[in-house]
Amino acid sequence: MEQRTQPTERVAFLGLGHMGAPMARQLLAAGHPLTVWNRTAAKAEPLVAEGARLASTPADAVRDADVVITMLAGPDAVRSVADAILPALREGAYWVEMSTVGPDVVRELGERVAGRVTLVDAPVAGSTDKAAAGQLGILAGGDVDGVAHVLARLGTVTRTGPAGSGAALKLVVNTALLGGVALVAETLALADALGLDGDAARTALAHGPLGGAVARAFAQDVHFGADLAAKDTALAARVAELPVIKAVATHFRTAAATPETAQADISHTVSHIRAHATT
């Protein structure tokens, strides 16, 4: 009988939010020696109970790691953690940046670690349900060979090209998703204004070209916060002249400024957009 060997790479996982925690759990279940860090340490407790080691600081987390994975809220969080971990990263280690930050941040990080650490940008497509099942789509840019087998524990790896290309493609994918959801919300607001039955309008849209966006606009048991949607659409709107996406970014920024929808899934933003579309 063929013997299966346990993974030997020591992995540090930084960022245990809605996506990070289930991703880290996949690596722990695969047998990787896992060290975790999160700004709110209490979020690490379930993983520690399952065998992970909790680090008190980002630097402590990465000091002995062969593979460092960051899954953080955005560019500012990534830069802050980078400042903390750069002096402690082991020479020859891999740093897999999986947050949605855009290619400029990846290039910036690449310059800071050049010659010492291999940086891979590998943001993910899919929500919390896919993360928990190990079925994410992983958009990996850069020299992926040394960590492809680690990333495969999290889902299907698509090699996108040079460093930064994964981050760039993720921005494209998220912009399409968020633009579609906002458009669904506005078309339903139009239906409301015309006095149409909301369920009838939703069904008609679901059978048309916006079908996928309709499904996501009303999805349950998944999570993509309005605050993160506002961040992602703002990143896209800075890259090119995108009037429609600027308007979409305003929708999500407004929702993110409202306490009850700020960190709620983007499906809750649909009702927010409809409610604020009345004249």
Ordered by where they begin, the domains of the chain are 11-161 (3.40.50.720), 169-275 (1.10.1040.10)
pLDDT in tens, 230-273: 999 999 999 999 999 999 999 999 999 998 889 999 999 999 99
Q: For the beta carbon of residue 91, count every other beta carbon within 10 angstroms.
A: 7
**Catalytic residue positions?**
170
The overall pTM is greater than 0.95: no
> What residues contact 209, with CB distance under 8 A and at least 6 apart?
none
> One-letter amino acid identity for 129?
D
Sign of dihedral through CA atoms 255, 257, 258, 264? Answer: positive
The whole-angstrom separation of Cα 50 and Cα 130 is 20
pLDDT in tens, 41-82: 999 999 999 999 999 999 999 999 999 999 999 999 999 999
DSSP string, 69-112: EE--SSHHHHHHHHHHHTTTPPTT-EEEE-S---HHHHHHHHHH
Q: For the beta carbon of residue 46, count every other beta carbon within 10 angstroms.
A: 13
Count Cα atoms within 13 angstroms, Cβ side, for 36.
Answer: 32
